[in-house]
Every structure is written in structure tokens, then in C-alpha cells.
Amino acid sequence: MGLLRARAGFAAGEARPDLPEKTADPHDIHAAIILFGSPGSGKGTQAKLLGQCLAGPHISTGDMLREHISAGDEIGKEAQRLTKAGKLVPDEMVNALVKQRLAAADCEPGVILDGYPRTVNQAKVLLGLMESDGFKPSVLHLVVDYEKIVARLSGRRQCPVCGTLYSLTTSPPKVAGICDRDGAALVTREDDREEVIRERLHEYDVQTVPILNFFKESGVPLFEVNAGDATPDQVKRRVWERLMEAGVLPATAGSR
Ligand code: AP5
Ligand code: MG
């Protein structure tokens, strides 16, 4: 069964994370790390950093929906209409996407979930899937003051080819508008306009925050990490330490 194992090796020129290269021993973990937090709290950033060291895939429902939007299919058309307005897409749509994704063979070692679940209904469906597939879920709540969110998201740029995230204020590309890794022109998300960001935060407060209570009542381990007063690398270290202390990641995964 599952093994949450660190990846060996990084692409040439890629910043080496200050995290272990591989675990010393095999561990039957099959962990599902649920990155939870408001829009702009750094879920995607942390998922990518953790993903450099963990074998399981990074599953972002936002990225999946944007792929459908780019493809222009039926799911994409519905998703575009709602995401542009800062609204959540219907539960049935994302539940079906996640169910199908979790069944793929690359999820066997464990998964990093980003942006899912986002309603209590989605959380219930997810826990059912976790139980039937034998995953061990843990929730990592990235906490950031809302005042910082609008500034963060207004300055976000992303590479449409490799997915690297930039911040015009804290981690800008070396050449304005160009991805450091592959030279592609960076894009601004359609939902990163201020009025849409405010609607997304409202949706988060009303629909997503109640999940925290549901998880607590369901006995799912829940960890809070302050993600608003530190660089992404510092937040990553906090995240890693919390997961190690709690045994979500094996103690042998390294203490550096
Ligand atoms: P989604 O793509 O999931 O967006 P989100 O949850 O609103 O979150 P973001 O991607 O905006 O932020 P993030 O937390 O990933 O932060 P990031 O790392 O990029 O969803 C988009 C839409 O799709 C939703 O609104 C909804 O319509 C729909 N949808 C998706 N999933 C759904 C679901 N399950 N159910 C229903 N609808 C769904 O960081 C943000 C910026 O800050 C970046 O520029 C980054 O470089 C910077 N940054 C990151 N960390 C730091 C730091 N420590 N210090 C300074 N800057 C930082
Ligand atoms: Mg994201």
C-alpha cells in the first residue's frame, strides 16, 4: 500500500528545497494532506514546495477547472462563468473530478489536495473517498489576514506552461512578465481583480470556513500554520515541522 516517499533529484537549475531528499525507511502512510485556507493564503505555493519532496501528486481543483476552461468544454464553460464572478462551482462537478483523479495510479503514495474540499458537502464526500481508498487525511490550515490577501492576489502572476507562481512584490520573475524557467509569457488570472477577490473571500467565509468544525467533529487531524508573516520557504518549514511532529510525515524524513 501507500508510501509517501520523497522524490529523488530536481530539475537542473531548480532551487533545492531545504527539505530531505528521501526518506530513510519505507512507511505505509498513504497520507492525504489537505491544504486549507482562504484565496491567496498560499495553498498552491506550499503544494508546489511540498510536491518537490513528496511522491504523491498535487491535486488542485482550481487548476483542473482552469484546464477545462482552456479546453473550452462543457465543464469549462460552466466553470468560467462562475469563477469569473468569484462563485464556487457546483459540488457535483468538483466531487466527480476529484473522485476520478484520486483513482489514478499516481495517487497510490499519497496526495496533496489544494482547494478541495470547499463546502461541507464536499468534505463529506472526500472523507468517504478517503475511507474507501485507505487514505489518511490531515488538514493544514494556512492562516493569513485578509488585508494581505488583496495585495498578494493583485500581484500574482503564473506561468501557463510550468505553473510556477510569482509575486510582483515578494518573488518577481528575473525579467518582467517572463517565466524564469521556460521563458513563457506570464499570465494574470481572470479572478484576481479586486472585486472578484472580495467575492471569493465572502464565499470562503460562508461556504468553506464551516468545514473546519466538520473536520474537528470528524476527528480529522487539523494543524494551523501562520502563513501571513513569513516567506514561502519559511512557511514551508513550519508546515514540514508540524507534519513531522504529528507523525503525518515519517520522523526519519529528516530533521534539517
Ligand atoms: P483556486 O484556484 O483554488 O483559488 P483559491 O482557493 O481562491 O486560491 P488561490 O489559488 O487564489 O490562492 P492560493 O491559496 O493557491 O495562493 P497562491 O499560492 O497562489 O480556485 C479558483 C476558483 O475555482 C474558485 O474561486 C472557485 O470558483 C473554483 N473552485 C476551485 N475549487 C473548487 C471547489 N472545490 N469547489 C467549488 N469551486 C471550486 O499565492 C497567492 C500569491 O501570494 C502568489 O502570488 C504567491 O506568490 C504569493 N505568496 C504565496 N505565499 C506567500 C508568502 N508566504 N508571502 C508572500 N507572498 C506569498
Ligand atoms: Mg491556488
* Confidence category of residue 30, pLDDT binned at 50, 70, 90: confident
pLDDT for residue 151 is more than 60: yes
Segment 6-13 shows an average pLDDT of 36
- Look up the pTM and report it: 0.89
pLDDT for residue 17 is more than 70: no
For ligand 1, what atom is nearest to the CA of residue 167?
A: 44
Surrounding ion ligand 2 within 5 Å at CB are 44
223: Cβ contacts below 8 Å, ≥ 6 apart: 138, 139, 140, 141, 242, 243, 246
Segment 117-146 shows an average pLDDT of 96
Q: How far is the CA of 192 from the centre of ligand 1 (A)?
A: 10
pLDDT tens digits, one per residue of 198-214 = 999 999 999 999 999 99
Q: Ligand 1: which of 34, 36, 43, 60 to mutate, most ligand atoms within 8 Å of CB? A: 43
Segment 125-146 shows an average pLDDT of 95
In the three-class reduction of DSSP (H, G, I as helix; E, B as strand; rest coil), residue 208 is classed as helix
In the chain, what percentage of residues exceed pLDDT 70?
Answer: 86
Q: How far is the CA of 41 from the centre of ligand 1 (A)?
A: 7
Residues having CB within 6 Å of any atom of ligand 1:
37, 39-45, 60-62, 65, 82-83, 86-89, 94, 115-116, 118, 122, 152-153, 155-156, 165-167, 170-171, 191, 200, 227, 230-232, 235
Q: Which of 78, 110, 73, 105 is nearest to 94 (CA)?
A: 78
Report the chain's mean pLDDT, rounded to a whole number: 88
Q: How far is the CA of 62 from the centre of ligand 1 (A)?
A: 8
pLDDT tens digits, one per residue of 44-99 = 999 999 988 888 999 999 999 999 999 999 999 999 999 999 999 999 999 999 99
Q: Which amino acid does the sequence have at 32?
A: A
pLDDT for residue 234 is more than 90: yes
Q: Which of 106, 96, 87, 65 is nearest to 208 (CA)?
A: 87
- Domains in the chain: ranges and CATH: 31-144+203-253 (3.40.50.300)
Length reported for the chain: 256
- How many angstroms separate the first and last alpha carbons of the chain? 28
Higher-pLDDT residue of 170, 2: 170
pLDDT value for 249: 79
* Confidence category of residue 217, pLDDT binned at 50, 70, 90: very high
Q: Are strands 156-158 and 58-60 parallel, antiparallel or unpaired?
A: unpaired
Give me 74's grid cell.
462543457
* Annotated catalytic residue 236: no
- Alpha carbon distance 42, 27 (integer Å): 28
